[in-house]
Structure 1
Amino acid sequence: GIHRNTVINRVDKLKSLLKVNLNEPDERLALQLACRVIKRKWEEV
């Protein structure tokens, strides 16, 4: 498994890099949809 602090640090880094507020449902949804699109594109390769 992955340590809890590692997950927290990685999420904090992503929030900073992407300038996203994960407390906002609309921003979480947009991020989730973007991740799904990227995943599908990678699966095509």
Structure 2
Amino acid sequence: MINDRKLPDFLIHDGVFHGISLKTRINTINYVYHKYLENANHKQFQYIMTF
């Protein structure tokens, strides 16, 4: 998301939050959202999570 690498413009996490507290999940999702806002003018991406 930050580096200029030739990678897909999406990231999928399947069940990454299993056994993780709700507070940690919320903090992680907020972090990803704020990173999206920081880079919204440069490049779009998708972050897909399953719970």
TM-score of the aligned structures, taking structure 2 as reference length: 0.43
The one of the two structures with greater contact order (alpha-carbon pairs below 8 A, sep at least 6) is: 2
- Higher strand proportion (structure 1 or 2): 2
- Higher helix proportion (structure 1 or 2): 1
